[in-house]
Amino acid sequence: MSNTPEAGAGVEWVDLSDRTALVTGSTSGIGRETALALGRLGATVFVHGRDRDAGRQVASAIDDAGGDAIFFRADLSEVETVHRLAAEIRARTDRLDILVNNAAANFSEGRLTDDGVERTFAINHLAPFVLTLDLRDLLPDDGRVVTVSSGVHPRADGSFDVTTVDDYDGLDAYARSKLANILFTVELARRFDGPTANCCHPGLVPASQLWRDASIPIRLAVGLLERLPEPLTRRVIDTPATGAETSVYLAASPDVEGVTGQYFSDCAPKEPAPIATDDRLASELWKMSEDLTGVTWS
């Protein structure tokens, strides 16, 4: 039995040969598996990451499997560099069918970016916000935006004080950014006319590079999970391949054609925390994101 994400998502028969996809953070972990899966389904894949060698390896693997891939190197912590990535994408294509906002970070130490924003929030929320708005006119009517959130989002309380790192807690910052991913999806779906926007929880993936900058206790706990025998963790943790299944499902499955503004887990709709579907909070976060980035919808 195949253990590829597209097989796990039940879309291994889907033909994406006429589609173009951008997967951010696709040089390792869940993003890499998502990019490889979309490439095997025939899509032209724009691979993104900070590591040039790793990016070229993923692009080569897609090419070797009969697909077509191009690597784009960019640090997503600053608005200017996100704009630059969008401009490079626009120079390569006039149509983007699938945008998977997968890149994410989790830091143990609080720090502001040069834009004056807490960097977890900048990378995990503001970068997808800016990139999506920069590229939205490339999305066709049946285009899809998939944003990878997390099941840890209920830990956030809905406050977005992100211009200070006083009393910083890495897990709280991560949860806040993942709540923002869902609220962004809710508001984006409301504003879109044609393309769809959905988000997902990929599961707990210890092998993901996401945890490389987390606090020592979190890194130790994740490392321990990764080393436990598979029968003990089968229902607790995911591999990068199984973690990519829902992203691939949302990007490729005809079952979700026209479905928008939803949160998914294990390739099925799931109710997020009530705060994540608060329309007022979603609207306020959108306005704050515009103010922080200088990027507006119109």
Number of other CB atoms surrounding residue 272 within 10 Å? 23
Per-residue pLDDT of the chain (298 residues; tens, 9 = 90+): 368 999 999 999 999 999 999 999 999 999 999 999 999 999 999 999 999 999 999 999 999 988 899 999 999 999 999 999 999 999 999 999 999 999 999 999 999 999 999 999 999 999 999 999 999 999 999 999 999 999 999 999 999 999 999 999 999 999 999 999 999 999 999 999 999 999 999 987 565 555 455 555 655 554 454 454 544 344 545 799 999 999 999 999 999 999 999 999 999 999 999 999 999 999 999 999 999 999 999 7
Q: Is 113 within the bounds of a domain?
A: yes
Distance CA 292, CA 178 (A): 18
Name the nearest CA neighbour of 138 among 227, 22, 56, 230.
Answer: 22
Q: What is the dihedral angle through the alpha carbons of 133, 136, 142, 147, rounded to the nearest 10 degrees?
A: -30
Active site residues: 174
Distance CA 35, CA 37 (A): 5
pLDDT of 176: 98
CA 17 to chain centre: 22
pLDDT of 28: 94
Q: Burial letters for 38-56: b for 16+ Cβ neighbours within 10 Å, e otherwise?
A: bbbbbbbbbbbbeeeebbb
The length of the chain, given as a count of residues: 298
Distance CA 36, CA 50 (A): 17
pLDDT of 67: 87
Name the nearest CA neighbour of 149 among 130, 173, 124.
Answer: 124
Q: Is 42 within the bounds of a domain?
A: yes
Contacts 24+ apart (CB under 8 A), 67-70: 67/39, 67/40, 67/42, 67/43, 68/39, 68/44, 69/35, 69/39, 69/44, 69/45, 70/44, 70/45, 70/46
Q: Is 2 within the bounds of a domain?
A: no
Q: How many Cα atoms within 13 Å fall on the side-chain side of residue 90?
A: 14
Q: Is 222 within the bounds of a domain?
A: yes
Q: What is the dihedral angle through the alpha carbons of 87, 88, 94, 99, rounded to the nearest 10 degrees?
A: -90
CATH of the domain at 132: 3.40.50.720
Distance CA 81, CA 192 (A): 25
Q: Is 68 within the bounds of a domain?
A: yes
Q: Is 4 within the bounds of a domain?
A: no
How many domains, the chain?
1
Q: Is 298 within the bounds of a domain?
A: no
Distance CA 85, CA 52 (A): 14
The residues, any chain, with a CB within 8 Å of residue 92's CB and separated by 6 or more, are: 46, 70
At residue 67, what is the residue type? G
Q: Is 236 within the bounds of a domain?
A: yes
The range of the structural domain enclosing residue 75 comes to 9-293
pTM, 2 dp? 0.90
